[in-house]
Amino acid sequence: MGVQAPRTADGRRADAVRSRSALLDAAATVFVRSGVDAPVRDIAAQAGVGVGTIYRHFPTRADLVVAVYRHQVEACAEAGPGLLASASSPYTALMEWIDLFVDFLVTKHGLAAALRSDDAGFAALHAHFVERLVPVCAGLLDAADRSGEVRPGIDAYQLMRGVGNLCIGADSDARYDARPMVGLLLAGLRCQD
Amino acid sequence: MGVQAPRTADGRRADAVRSRSALLDAAATVFVRSGVDAPVRDIAAQAGVGVGTIYRHFPTRADLVVAVYRHQVEACAEAGPGLLASASSPYTALMEWIDLFVDFLVTKHGLAAALRSDDAGFAALHAHFVERLVPVCAGLLDAADRSGEVRPGIDAYQLMRGVGNLCIGADSDARYDARPMVGLLLAGLRCQD
DNA sequence: AAGCATACGGAACAGTGTTCCGGTTAGCAA
DNA sequence: TTGCTAACCGGAACACTGTTCCGTATGCTT
């Protein structure tokens, strides 16, 4: 009975699975070479597919970026509780976690810039980062707050946004290094005056 | 003798002077409405001129942006020495001056973002800000350094870049306010630990 | 008034994102 | 194996933006 139900194990056709995988590999390669703003056609060419195939699998560019970096975002998010347990203090844990976040951002051409972009196409990227990482940051920040190590009243979203902003352009301007500025921001967070 | 030497007082034709003025007014208007990334055609339409006229007067977009905001950048730069003289301490003067800078940036849609852009078209904009404002910032920073109020080894360019970065998106994200983060950065600058 | 350098307008070109549809192919059934 | 159908693919086509170029119009000087 019923119509065709062409399905592989996960419900998609085999060629679709191949295309998606090829696209992810291609995107990762092109992002390294040209940044996350690389032309859609470049990614399609690298993957050996048409541009239509990209839009079918990843309706917005953010979806593609999210998929490419999902594992690393996940790893960063999951590292939070561990740092809180192992570090000498909640504030230290927060510092170390933000170090991880900064490491992630500055090694991806233009990712930090895309993150803050008001471009609607990147809204989903922004949303994913916020949903996954802000709660982790909030946990660390709360712990540091309770231990009295940081000034109160700082919002986790704003802090992450500030750190992310400081990382913008760190990969394309030799005169600018984001880490000292992030260090200043965190030092200011600790100061009670 | 010799060839034509058509000159008004300043060496340009009257219609060229009019066009340039109309373009500056139009650009200022459109920048408020659509940000500094507004389409060239919009600015041309607002000014009632053709796009060619824009490129003739302002070869790069940065030239136009610089021209539109020149007065305000100048005012900010010139305020530096005065603040140093009137404030209770060099560090206070630095804080107040950076307040001026932040005020300027957050009230211009997308200006902070354009400032950090690696886009070649904005290189001249970046250069102008750096040339005009970094020396002023360096003067204030040096004074604060000599008075022992700030941690040593901070570069004026990097500080300005950091503050500029923190202002990115402050005009388009209701959840983000750049000022507290700039406050944190400056607090970190004062902390000696 | 005449002539010419200057300035103007907008068509034309190039690069990019996005949509859409005719053709192809994978998977299932007979 | 063969045939059918839904899913999938490729790339042409469209829309929008930056940029260039040149025939035309304008204003200055003589």
**Run of H or E residues at A98:** helix A90-106
In total, chain B counts a number of residues equal to 193
pLDDT tens per residue across span A88-145: 999 999 999 999 999 999 999 889 999 887 787 788 899 999 999 999 999 999 999 9
Residue from B110, B192, B49 nearest A184 by CA = B192
- pLDDT computed for residue B117 by the predictor: 80
- Residue B184 and residue A188: Cβ atoms within 8 Å? yes
Q: Are B166 and B182 contacting, i.e. CB atoms less than 8 angstroms apart? A: yes
CA A118 from centroid of its chain's CA atoms: 16
Helices (H), B58-155: 61-86, 90-106, 111-116, 123-146
- Mean pLDDT along residues B163-186: 95
Q: How far is B17 from B148, CA to CA, in rounded Å?
A: 51
Nearest to A188 among B113, B169, B186 (CB): B186
Q: What is the DSSP letter of A25?
A: H
Q: How far is B91 from B182, CA to CA, in rounded Å?
A: 14
Max intra-chain CA distance, chain A: 75
CA of B50 to C1' of D20 (A): 13
- pLDDT computed for residue A118 by the predictor: 77
Residue B1 predicted with pLDDT over 60: no
- In Å, what is the CA distance from A51 to each residue of A11, A30, A123? 23, 15, 21
Strand D atom within 7 Å of B4 CB: yes
| A118 contact residues in B (CB cutoff 8 A) | 110, 169, 172-173
Nearest to B177 among A158, A186, A188 (CB): A158
- Residue B187 and residue A183: Cβ atoms within 8 Å? no
Q: Are A163 and A101 contacting, i.e. CB atoms less than 8 angstroms apart? A: yes
Residue B120 predicted with pLDDT over 80: no
Q: Hey, of B92, B184, B192, which one would you mutate to test binding to chain A, going by the most A CBs within 10 A of its CB?
A: B184
CA of A64 to C1' of C20 (A): 21
- Residue A154 and residue B180: Cβ atoms within 8 Å? yes
Residue from B167, B189, B42, B188 nearest B110 by CA = B167
Residue from B187, B181, B142, B144 nearest B163 by CA = B181
- pTM of this prediction exceeds 0.85: yes
Residue B121 predicted with pLDDT over 90: no
**Regarding predicted confidence, which is higher, B12 or A75?**
A75
- pLDDT computed for residue A58 by the predictor: 96
